[in-house]
Amino acid sequence: MNLSSTPVTRRALFASALTAATAAVTLVGCSDTEGAGTAAGSASASRRTLTVGMELAYPPFETKDDAGNPTGVSVSFMQDFADAYGYELKVENMGFDGLIPSLQTRKADCVMSSITITPEREEQVDFTDPYAVAQLAILANASSGIESADDLNQPGKTVAVKTGSTGDVYATKNLAQAEILRLADESACVTEVSQGRADGFLYDQLTIYRNQKANPDTTVAVFIPFQDPEYWGIAVQQGDDELREELNAFIAESRQNGEFDKLTETYLAEEKAAFDELGFRWFFDFDEQDAATGDSAAADAGEAANSEGKDA
């Protein structure tokens, strides 16, 4: 990544602050080129930057580590993709509302931020093949008696959703009887439910599972599937077929070579166990037939593709 650029900037600033002669600045410039050359070794000089937009507020998929660096399933995934296809990865953190506009204004090359593929979004951007599948669940107030989505679709019931999320879309379409409370922040939605201001909060199963564990006395989780599964895709600029094809190829490889299992192991081991126990479909258990067939063969193919990518 762009680790090398930080000291250069500092030195350049330092130099200009001292109003040193231009020679000094040139010197810094020279040493920088040299340093970069040795660090990159034999890698080709034309490594392209891949700017990925993410909302780093959705652990463990997109989040920040304690030091503030981007981390999570999507970050690791994109890093592996960038390594394989010869990109310099740059993660841009932005609000969920700004993700699609960042593609339209070419501030980002692609967006991987647990975005559900919807026809409306497909009018604005292009999506890769789905890489994960999720389902909505309900975080209900413990004393609300909510046991299904139908229980929420009643006059006098209040449903909290995150503005613009698929929960919002679902509630707007299917819970017309209830009052819909659109909030910018997930934790605000959870607070609304745990305080009893809202009866339920519609969001993906993982978030609901985690927040129910965090508020065991005031909330209950309703996991009964009440809608079609949502497929998450990586969004690219409209017409950017080259990048989309590369991503599609990498997604296909990852499904074969255990990349997703590795990510699950790293970030989601506990949740996976809980989901298995509850009998839920796992995020990356997508195409059950394909997943069942020979792992070793797929892994080989993946490795081949990987090394090919590095050489390119």
Partner 1 sequence: MRNPFVAGRDGRATPAQALASYALVCAAVIGFFWLSLAMAGIALNLDFVAQFRTRIADGLLLTLEISVASLVLSCVIGLPVAVGQGSRILPVRYLCDLYVKLIRGTPLLAQIYLFFYIVGTAWGVENRFAAGVIILSVFSGAYIAEIVRGSLSSLDSGQLEAARAVGFTRAQTLRYVVVPQLVSRTLPALTGQFASIVKDSSLLSVIAVIELTQTMQEISASTFNLFGTYLVLAALYLVLTLPIMFVSRWFERRGSYAH
Binder of partner 1 out of 9, 26, 69, 105 (CB under 8 A): 105
* CB-neighbour burial class of residue 248 (10 A; exposed 0-12, middle 13-18, buried 19+): middle
Binder of partner 1 out of 65, 83, 88, 97 (CB under 8 A): 97
**Residue 82 engages partner 1 in binding (rule: CB under 8 A):** no
Using CA atoms in the order 181, 182, 186, 190, what is the torsion angle rounded to 10 degrees? 0
- Contact indicator for 299, 257 with CB cutoff of 8 Å: yes
Give me the residues paired with residue 89 across strands: 50
Shortest gap between Cβ of 124 and partner 1 (angstroms)?
5
Least Cα distance to 156 among 164, 165, 167, 145 occurs for 145
* Helical axes 241-257 vs 73-85, angle rounded to 10°: 110
Question: Apex CA 191: angle with CA 230 and CA 200, to 5°?
Answer: 50
Site for partner 1 in 125-164 (CB under 8 A): 163-164
**Residue 101 engages partner 1 in binding (rule: CB under 8 A):** yes
Binder of partner 1 out of 108, 169, 243, 247 (CB under 8 A): 169
Shortest gap between Cβ of 222 and partner 1 (angstroms)?
22
Mark out the alpha helices in the chain (DSSP H runs).
Answer: 5-17, 22-40, 73-85, 96-104, 119-122, 149-152, 166-174, 186-194, 205-214, 241-257, 259-267, 269-278, 288-292, 295-311
Instruction: Return d(Cα 175, Cα 149) in angstroms, integer.
Output: 8
Judged by beta carbon, residue 90 or residue 182, the one nearer partner 1 is 182
Instruction: Return d(Cα 49, Cα 5) in angstroms, integer.
Output: 13
Choices 26-34, 80-88, 100-108, 225-233; region in contact with partner 1 by CB under 8 A: 100-108
Shortest gap between Cβ of 107 and partner 1 (angstroms)?
10
- Contact indicator for 53, 92 with CB cutoff of 8 Å: yes
Judged by beta carbon, residue 86 or residue 164, the one nearer partner 1 is 164
Site for partner 1 in 173-202 (CB under 8 A): 181-185, 188, 191, 195, 197
Judged by beta carbon, residue 188 or residue 252, the one nearer partner 1 is 188
Shortest gap between Cβ of 91 and partner 1 (angstroms)?
21
Binder of partner 1 out of 120, 228, 242, 277 (CB under 8 A): 120
Site for partner 1 in 17-46 (CB under 8 A): none
Helix (H, G, I), strand (E, B) or coil at 65: coil
Shortest gap between Cβ of 26 and partner 1 (angstroms)?
33
**Residue 98 engages partner 1 in binding (rule: CB under 8 A):** yes
- Count residues contacting partner 1 (CB under 8 A)? 25
Judged by beta carbon, residue 182 or residue 262, the one nearer partner 1 is 182
- Contact indicator for 117, 127 with CB cutoff of 8 Å: yes
Interface ranges with partner 1 (CB under 8 A): 97-98, 100-101, 104-106, 120-121, 123-124, 163-164, 168-169, 172, 181-185, 188, 191, 195, 197
